[in-house]
Amino acid sequence: MEEILAKYRIESSLSLADAAEEICKEESVGTWTELKTLEPEIQKRLSANVIELDEESKTATIAYSIDEYSHEPGGIPQLLSFVAGNLFGLSLLKHVRLVDIELPSTIVKLYQGPKFGIEGVRNLIGVKKRPLIGTIIKPKIGLSPKEQAEVFYKAARGGIDFGKDDENLVNQAFCPLLERTRQIAEAIDKVKEETGRKVYYAINVTTRADRIVEVAEDALSNGATCLMVDMLCAGYAAIRALAEDGKINVPLHIHRAGHAAFTEDPHHGITMLVLAKLARLAGGDQLHTGTVVGKMKGTKEEVIQTNDFLKNEWFGLKNVFPVASGGVHPLLIPRIVGLLGRDIVIQAGGGVHGHPGGTEAGAKALKQALDAVLQTIPLEEYAEDHKELREAVEKWK
């Protein structure tokens, strides 16, 4: 029988076995007392069961019947309702952390997943092997559409492949979404005309679930080349609505704003690995996963494990471009590439726009740092003949 497996790390005054049984009861057919309405057939078919206990790591793996899952209506929100539901609030459990989930192929194959994946995004802009480099427009809010586009244009002229709105910019009065989209589209065309390079930009369409497809289609009709969704703000169902809509023909860039409320406490919550699995299931093409070396938290082991999952085979779904973003500047490029490899999007906001020479110089410095790494030349040596990188080294060393 196919099952959904969920691995939990549990802290409780109960034994690990008894604590795990409390989760089984709460998230399947049981409750705090015996039920006169629970027939033996239902209990046999739908009861969750503990299949593995590890006293050393305090982890329990629980198997849920595939019959507990409801795809339509339901899907990822319904899946979360039992693998990550009431269990977090059980008074008998001090802490619970959802460490991992394993879904059977029959469930994974119900989803379309990413439309583009790593290869599709690479083909879109004609960059086959190296890491992509991108920027987040800064300041994150306050610029007009024209100013936003001008900053992106300068960054693209400097050599970046990708740009994006920040997580809290959507449709404010100072920077309306559709006008921003039109201005960015003009900047993209201008860069193509002047340099021959293809670049793309993620417009943030995070909004209420019943309007997100409409907003996305409006952005596309005004020239959007990529769409961004704050996954934990809009929800996985919103990502899926975009990914599975035939009219949405651009990559989906998935921001993880708010993730640390779930992921930061090592004793409680949900790991980034689980959030990433759901983002891939929903159809994200690019996903923020951490840098290991930047300003955002995330251990080396966690980030690498998450990235490996996103890049590897998963029952036929396309893979996902991991995004390293947060506190990135040119001097960190060697470490990021060394740790995370070449199938990565490296994004710098302040590390581009905070350059002493401005945005275009900052983008050049970022690209020069990447070129140095790809040629296995130390940054300090490469900087001797590259002014922008030299200035970045002097500022951030």
pLDDT, one tens digit per residue, over 268-303 is 999 999 999 999 999 999 999 998 886 656 688 999
Active-site pick, 7, 138, 355, 367 = 138
Domain count, the chain: 2
Residue-level pLDDT at 45: 86
Q: Which residues of the chain have pLDDT under 70?
A: 294-298
Residue at a domain's end among 108, 132, 152: 108
Range of the domain at 58: 3-108
For the question of residue 71 being annotated catalytic, the response is no
Residue-level pLDDT at 35: 79
Burial of 340 (0-12, 13-18, 19+ CB in 10 A): buried
Residue-level pLDDT at 295: 65
Find residue 346's DSSP bridge partners: 133, 324
The alpha helices in the chain, defined as continuous H runs, are: 16-27, 40-46, 76-83, 105-108, 117-125, 145-158, 177-195, 212-221, 231-234, 236-243, 260-263, 272-282, 300-311, 333-340, 350-353, 359-374, 379-383, 387-396
CA 249/CA 220 separation, integer angstroms: 9
For the question of residue 397 being annotated catalytic, the response is no
- What is the token pair recorded at 74? 């339901």
Q: For residues 196 and 224, is the Cβ–Cβ distance under 8 A?
A: no
What CATH number is associated with residue 142?
3.20.20.110
- With DSSP H G I counted as helix, E B as strand and the rest as coil, what are the percentages for the chain, rounded to 5? 45, 15, 40
Q: For the whole prediction, is pTM greater than 0.85?
A: yes
CA 229/CA 219 separation, integer angstroms: 13
Indicate whether 291 and 364 sit together in one domain. Answer: yes
Indicate whether 138 and 26 sit together in one domain. Answer: no
Indicate whether 131 and 215 sit together in one domain. Answer: yes
In a 3-state reduction of DSSP, which class is residue 233?
Answer: helix
Active-site pick, 7, 115, 253, 255 = 255
